[in-house]
Amino acid sequence: MVSGPNDAQLRERAKKVIPNGMYGHQSTRLLPANFPQWFSRAEGAYLWDVDGNRYLDLMCGYGTNLFGYRDERVDEAVATQLAVADNMTGPSPLMVDLAEQFVSMVSHAEWAMFCKNGTDATTMAVTVARAETKRRHVIVAEYAYHGSAPWCTPIPAGVVPEQRAHISSCVYNDVDSLDEAVAAAGDDLAAVVVAPFKHDAFQDQALPDPDYARRARELCDVSGAMLIVDDVRAGLRVSKDCSWESLGVRPDMSTWGKTIGNGHPISALLGSESCRRGAGDIYATGSYWFSAGPMAAALETLRLVRETDYLEHTVALGKQLRIGLDDAAGRYGFSLHQSGPVQMPQIFFQGDDDFRLGFAWAEAMSAERVYVHPWHNMFFCDAMTSEDIDFALAAADRAFGVVGGTLDSIEPHPVVKTLVGGT
Ligand SMILES: Cc1ncc(COP(=O)(O)O)c(C=O)c1O
């Protein structure tokens, strides 16, 4: 099955005027054939493709949708601000309000800088660390995603080795490998960048081992390097503070994006006193970084974070889905591996090394009008209800039946097959 006629027509037009018809993580190149590429509308927990099909969206805009698409409270705050000003020759007072609010909510933070995308924030964090320490080397975990800039893009076409010269990797949650990477960096270590938990594409997720987190802090303290928690994806989804606060580990900097404006374009770098000077020394800016509309969105989103039970609600929905999916899969003789926090689930079939079952199931779910992802973690939003999860579970039941009924004819996705080394 392929996507609808309007989608197909747009793909044809796009092929001529957009490289590859679409680029980056929102391209359907690595998704099942019936996944729509183009969408026309979104509301609450749902989105509509250009052929008018409505989907329950378990991707939530790759994590940007926390309270629901077009949440009235957030969008009203934006509309009120837009009625007076958005992008100007200088920032509005909202920037100071927002910095005060955010810093008061995140325990390690003493200062804030705002930008647009997660990549802006992670790149700025690394630059601040180098400016503060006057050193060059940065350690990341292998497979971890920190954005699409030359220093961190997972597909380094067009990147020259010099742009990655002072970056090395360790294995997430492996203390020995972190020790080795730090030792190898010698007295040139500027920063260790960590994801709050292992949330890599195509991999099972893993919660952070507290010993690993504590060791990362200790090594940075001893060497004078900066510890950076990249909370762009998980921020405000697993905690209302920095995600490592519950482990008792405070970074020097944390990076934020996605959720903080509930879909409006804004990201942030928060930092502690340890690197305020470095943050002041770097040159960082962008034509749209100081727009007032997204700052109004972030202020309202942060208010909702403080004053509502969205976190408990999304955890409850996540549990409902996890338990229900295990039951449904079992009825058809499948065994799932569901990993990570329930509200940010990664859902794989056991032993499905080339992802063929996952793709077939996601395709069947798409036909049922539930948008699930075959190799990326998913998200919940506060606008979802228990009835929405019942709807997803009923769809999943039928989708497992479809996969079970066509097992012999399921082929692995041609591109994914080459990525995971399948034959
Ligand atoms: C952990 C993490 N860091 C950084 C980024 C980059 O964010 P953006 O796509 O907004 O540049 C992402 C995006 O998915 C992410 O998940």
CATH number belonging to domain 5-67+309-419: 3.90.1150.10
Give 95 Cα–ligand 1 centroid separation in angstroms.
22
pLDDT tens digit sequence for 173-216: 999 999 999 999 999 999 999 999 999 999 999 999 999 999 99
Amino acid at 176: D
Residues in contact with ligand 1 by the CB-under-6-Å rule are 117-119, 122, 145-147, 195, 230, 232-233, 257
Ligand 1 pocket test target in 232, 236, 244, 377 with most atoms within 8 Å of CB: 232
If you write DSSP's letter for every residue of 158-197 in order, what string do you get? T--GGGGTTEEEE-TT-HHHHHHHHHHHGGGEEEEEE-SS
pLDDT of residue 1: 61
pLDDT tens readout for residues 65-101? 999 999 999 999 999 999 999 999 999 999 999 999 9
* Measured distance CA(239)–CA(186) in Å, rounded: 34
263, 294 Cβ separation under 8 angstroms: no
Closest by CA position to 268, among listed 287, 254, 249: 254
pLDDT tens figures, 263-322: 999 999 999 999 999 999 999 999 999 999 999 999 999 999 999 999 999 999 999 999
Stretch 221-232: mean pLDDT, rounded? Answer: 98
For residue 22, pLDDT beyond 80: yes
**In the chain, domain spans:** 5-67+309-419, 72-307
Predicted pLDDT of residue 244: 98
Residue 338 — pLDDT band, cuts 50, 70, 90? very high
**pLDDT of 344 above 80:** yes
β-bridge partners, 46 = 43, 56
Query: Tens of pLDDT along 30-60?
Result: 999 999 999 999 999 999 999 999 999 999 9
Question: What gap in Å lies between CA 350 and CA 309, rounded to an integer?
Answer: 33
Per-residue pLDDT band for 423 (boundaries 50, 70, 90) equals very low
Ligand 1 probe mutation, 148, 233, 236, most atoms within 8 A of CB = 233
Q: Binning pLDDT at 50, 70 and 90, where does residue 417 land?
A: confident
Nearest CA owner, ligand 1 atom 4: 146
Give the position, in ligand 1's atom list, of the atom nearest the Cα of 144: 1
Q: Which CATH architecture has domain 72-307?
A: 3-Layer(aba) Sandwich (3.40)
Mean pLDDT of the chain: 96
How many whole angstroms from 183 Cα to the centroid of ligand 1? 28
Q: What local confidence, expressed as pLDDT, does residue 421 receive?
A: 58
Banded pLDDT at 422 (limits 50, 70, 90): very low
Alpha-carbon distance values, 89 to 100, 215, 276, 286 (Å): 22, 45, 25, 12
151 Cβ contact partners less than 8 Å away, ≥ 6 residues apart = 123, 126, 138, 163, 164, 167
Q: Which atom of ligand 1 is nearest to the CA of 62?
A: 14
What pLDDT does residue 420 have? 73
Buried b / exposed e along 126-153 (16+ C-beta atoms within 10 A): bbbbbbbbebebbbbbebbbbbbeebbb
